[in-house]
Structure 1
Amino acid sequence: MTKLSANTLADITTASVPAYNRENLTPGIVHFGVGNFHRAHQAVYLDDLFATGSDHDWALIGAGVREADEAMRQKLKSQDWLTTVVEQEADTSSARVTGAMIDYLRPGDSAAVVARLSDPSIRIVSLTITEGGYYIDPASQKFDPTHPDIAYDAANIEAPKTAFGLILAGLLRRRELGLAPFTVMSCDNIPGNGHVTENAVAGLAALIDPALAQWVKANVAFPNGMVDRITPATSDREKTLLADNFDIDDNWPVFCESFKQWVLEDNFPAGRPALEKVGVQFVTDVAPYEHMKIRILNGGHATIAYPAGLLDIHFVHEAMEHPLVAAFLAKVERDEIIPIVPPVPDTNLDDYFALCQRRFANPKIGDTIRRLALDGSNRQPKFIVPSALERSQRQQSVNGLALVSALWCRYCYGISDGGAVIEPNDPNWDRLTAQAKKARANPQAWLEMTDIYGELATHQNFIAAFTKALETLWNIGTKATLERYLADEF
Structure 2
Amino acid sequence: MSQTRQGSDAKPLDSQVLNAEESAAFKAMKQSPVRIVQIGEGNFLRGFVDWMVHEMRRQGKYDGAVAVSQPRPSGKAKLEQLQAQDGLYTLIVRGIEQGAPVERIEKIAVFGEFIDPYTQWEALLALAERPELEVLVSNTTEAGLTYQPTEVSLDKPAISYPAKVTALLYRRFLTFGADPAKGLLLLPCELIEGNGDELKRCVLQHSADWQLPEPFMAWVRDHNRFLNSLVDRIVTGYPGEEAAQWQERLGYDDKLLCSAEPYYLWAIEGEAGLESKLPFQAAGLDVVWTGDLKPYQLRKVRILNGAHTLMTPIALLNGVSEVRSALEHPQLGPYIRDAVELEIIPSLASEMAPAETKAYAATVFERFENPYNRHRLLDIAMNSISKFRARLLPSLEGYMSAHNGELPERIVKALAHLLRLYKVRLVEDQFAGERFDGSDYTIRDDRTALEFLAAAWDRYEAGTHDRTQLVEELLDSDLLWGKPLNGIPGLVEAVVEQFKGMKEETT
TM-score range, shorter chain: 0.7 to 0.9
Deviation at 1:11, TM superposition (A): 7.2
Deviation, structure 1 residue 55: 1.8
Cα offset for 1:344?
A: 6.0
The SS at the match of 2:36 is strand
C-alpha distance in structure 1 between counterparts of 2:109 and 2:56, whole Å: 11
**Structure 1 residues 69 and 468, CA gap change in structure 2 (3 angstroms):** closer
Aligned position for 2:467: 440
| Match for residue 132 of structure 1 among 137, 140, 143 | 143
Q: Verify: 1:159 aligned to 2:187, yes or no.
A: no
* Matched residue type, 1:186: P
Residue 185 of structure 1: aligned partner: 187
TM-score (norm 2): 0.83
Q: Which residue of structure 1 aligns with residue 478 of structure 2?
A: 450
Residues 1:343 and 1:336: Cα distance change in structure 2 (over 3 Å): same
Q: Is the 8 A contact 1:118 1:170 kept in 2?
A: no
Say if 2:56 and 2:280, in contact at 8 Å, map to a contact too.
yes
1:207 maps onto 2:198 in alignment: no
For 1:430 and 1:361, the matched residues in 2 are separated by 36
Partners of 1:407 and 1:307 in 2: CA distance = 6
Map of 1:232 onto structure 2: 236
Provide the secondary structure at the position in 2 that maps to 1:426.
coil
The amino acid of 1:287's aligned partner reads K
Q: Secondary structure at the match of 1:61?
A: strand
Give me the TM-score of the superposition, normalised by structure 1. Answer: 0.85
* TM-superposed deviation, 1:313: 1.2
Q: CA deviation at 1:415?
A: 2.9
From the superposition, tell whether residues 330 and 20 of structure 1 become closer, same or farther in structure 2 (CA, over 3 Å). Answer: farther
2:280 is aligned to 275
Deviations along 1:429-479, one digit per CA (max 9) or x if unpaired, are 3422343445635332331223333254311143343332233337879xx
Give, in angstroms, the shift of residue 372 of structure 1: 2.1
Partner of 2:255, secondary structure, is coil
Aligned partners of 2:438, 2:384: CA distance in 1, in Å? 21
Provide the alpha-carbon RMSD of the alignment: 2.9
Tell me how far apart the structure 2 counterparts of residues 167 and 429 of structure 1 sit (CA, whole Å).
27
What is the DSSP-based 3-state SS (H/G/I as helix, E as strand, rest coil) of the residue aligned with 1:131?
Answer: coil
Report the equivalent of 2:426: none
- 2:70 aligned to 52, 64, 69, which one? 64
Mapped pair 1:378 → 2:386: yes
Offset at 1:122?
0.5
- Structure 2 unaligned residues grouped into runs of 5+: 1-5, 424-432
Task: Render the CA deviation track for 1:389-419: whole Å, top value 9, x for unaligned.
Answer: 2333442432221111011112223332223
Q: Which of 424, 429, 433 is matched with 2:450 structurally?
A: 429
Give the aligned partner of residue 374 of structure 2.
Answer: 366
Distance in 2 separating the partners of 1:182 and 1:11: 35
Matched, 1:387 2:395: yes
State the distance in 2 between where 1:63 and 1:347 align: 42
Higher strand share: 2
8 Å CA contact 2:71–2:140 kept in 1: the answer is no
**Preserved contact between residue 18 and residue 47 of structure 1 (Cα < 8 Å):** no
- In the alignment, the residues of structure 1 paired with residue 353 and residue 32 of structure 2 have an alpha-carbon distance, to the nearest angstrom, of 36
Q: 1:159 to 1:293 in 2, by over 3 A?
A: same
Q: CA deviation at 1:124?
A: 0.8
What CA distance in whole angstroms lies between the structure 2 residues aligned with 1:271 and 1:346? Answer: 37
SS of 1:68's equivalent?
helix
Q: What secondary structure sits across from 2:248 in the alignment?
A: helix
Amino acid at match of 1:223: L
Secondary structure, counterpart of 2:300 in structure 1: helix
Paired residues for 1:309-328 under 5 Å? 309-328=316-335
Q: Mean Cα displacement is larger for which, 338-347 or 408-417?
A: 338-347
Note if contact 1:82-1:99 (Cα within 8 Å) is conserved in structure 2. Answer: yes
Query: Which of the numbers 210, 220, 224 marks the counterpart of 1:220?
Result: 224
Pair 1:10 & 2:19 matched:
yes
Is 1:416 matched with 2:435? Answer: yes
Partner in structure 2 of residue 485 of structure 1: none
Note if contact 2:95-2:370 (Cα within 8 Å) is conserved in structure 1. Answer: yes
Q: 1:439 to 1:31 in 2, by over 3 A?
A: farther
Aligned positions of 1:18-417 closer than 5 A: 21-23=28-30, 25-56=32-63, 58-89=64-95, 92-108=102-118, 109-135=120-146, 143-145=147-149, 151-152=150-151, 154=152, 156-162=153-159, 163-176=161-174, 177-178=176-177, 179=179, 180-209=182-211, 211=214, 212-234=216-238, 236-237=240-241, 239-266=243-270, 272-277=277-282, 278-341=285-348, 348-394=356-402, 395-413=405-423, 414-417=433-436
Q: Relative to structure 1, is the Cα distance of residues 16 and 461 closer, same or farther in structure 2, using a 3 angstrom cutoff?
A: farther
Q: For the structure 1 residues 30 and 423, does the alpha-carbon distance in structure 2 shift closer, same or farther, using more than 3 Å as the test? A: closer
